[in-house]
């Protein structure tokens, strides 16, 4: 077979508990969680604030701002904007802060099968 996502040949000999306790891995874990958790809470709060306003503050949401465009429509479109912005922010954060450290730990475990960008050197995308 040799085509599973997990290749046991590289993994069985690894002491994952030891890797988990290393400073580098703890740093990676911290960087990941300190970004995704606050961000997830923030966008969920913003989304539910919007839903609650649309549900219980109909008068406010119906206030016309420009022509027939009301506050409800503007807040709805701002949900689109914030979604696109968070997406871009996360990608740039991952590229700068997460990928290099993840590739480093991976290389340490698997030997040098990956280049600096974290891409497999051979036999990857066909």
Partner 1 sequence: MIGIPSAVNVAALKDTTLLNMAIFGLFVAVTMVIVFRASRNNKTAADYYAAGRSFSGSQNGTAIAGDYLSAASFLGITGAIAINGYDGFMYSIGFLVAWLVALLLVAELLRNTGKFTMADVLSFRLKQRPVRIAAAISTLAVCFFYLLAQMAGAGSLISLLLGISDWGGQALVIIVVGALMIMYVLIGGMKGTTWVQIIKAILLIAGAGVMTLWVLSIYGFNLSNLLGAAVETANNPNVLNPGLQYGKSETSKLDFMSLGLALVLGTAALPHVLMRFYTVPTAKEARKSVVWSIWLIGLFYLFTLVLGYGAAALVGADTIKSAPGGVNSAAPLLAFHLGGPLLLGFISAVAFATILAVVAGLTITAAASFAHDIYASVISKGKADADTEVKVARRTVVVIGVMAIVGGIFANGQNVAFLVALAFAVAASANLPTILYSLFWRKFTTQGAVWSMYGGLGSAIILIIFSPVVSGGATSMIKDANFAIFPLSNPGIVSIPLAFFLGWLGTVLDKQREDTTKQAEMEVRSLTGVGAEKATNH
Q: How far is the CB of 120 from partner 1 (least distance, A)?
A: 6
Binding-site string for partner 1 from residue 3 to residue 22, where x marks contact by CB under 8 A and - marks none = xxxxxx-xx--x-xx-xx--
39 binds partner 1 (CB under 8 A): yes
Three-state SS sequence of the chain: CCCCCCCHHHHCCCCHHHHHHCHHHHHHHHHHHHHHHHHHHHHHHHHHHHHHHHHHCHHHHCCEEECCEEHHHHHHHHHHHHHHHHHHHHHHHHHHHHHHHHHHHHHHHHCCCECCCCCECCCCCC
Q: Which of 34, 76, 96, 115 binds partner 1 (CB under 8 A)?
A: 76
92 binds partner 1 (CB under 8 A): no
Q: Which of 34, 83, 96, 115 binds partner 1 (CB under 8 A)?
A: 83
Q: How far is the CB of 84 from partner 1 (least distance, A)?
A: 6
51 binds partner 1 (CB under 8 A): yes
């Amino acid at each position: 077979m040799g085509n599973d996502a997990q290749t046991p040949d590289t993994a069985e000999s690894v002491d994952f508990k030891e890797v988990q306790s290393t400073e580098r891995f703890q740093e990676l874990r911290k960087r990941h969680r300190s970004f995704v958790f606050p961000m997830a809470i923030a966008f969920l709060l913003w989304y539910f604030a919007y839903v609650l306003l649309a549900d219980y503050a109909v008068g406010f949401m119906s206030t016309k701002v420009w022509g027939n465009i009301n506050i409800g429509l503007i807040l709805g479109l701002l949900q689109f904007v914030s979604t696109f912005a968070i997406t871009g922010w996360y990608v740039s954060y991952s590229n700068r802060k997460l990928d290099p450290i993840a590739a480093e730990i991976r290389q340490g475990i698997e030997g040098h099968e990956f280049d600096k960008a974290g891409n497999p050197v051979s036999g990857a995308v066909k």
